[in-house]
Amino acid sequence: MLRRFGWIVPAYTMPADAQHVTVLRVVIREDFSRTLAERLVLDITKVLHELDSMPSKLLAAAQQNGKNGKKTEMETQREVATYWKKFVSNIKTNRNKIC
């Protein structure tokens, strides 16, 4: 979804003991400006809002299966998304302290 805005952010899966985690890799060039950084944060925020508004088949499946003591992949993804939203929100409130 970020590609629509011109960003290329590949997703990588982790090794066997952490396959439930997916990592987005962002490589920043030396000439990356503050304006571009702010645009990236805004575009990520837009994409997160779009993803949150989409119906989730995984969420429905997780609710049907119930809890087994371990976090489901969906729970882990939501936890990461919540952390990222807080991180982005902190950046917005501390704009004068960045760069």
The structural domains of the chain, ordered by start, are 2-97 (3.90.1150)
Residue 56, pLDDT > 80, answer no
Q: Pull the structure tokens for residue 46.
A: 């837009």
**What are the backbone dihedrals phi and psi of residue 61, each rounded to the nearest 5 degrees, phi first?**
-65, -40
* Mean of pLDDT values over 6-33: 84
Write out the DSSP string of 8-52: ---EEE--GGGTT-EEE-----TT--HHHHHHHHHHHHHHHHHHH
pLDDT of 45 reads 92
Quote the pTM value. Answer: 0.50
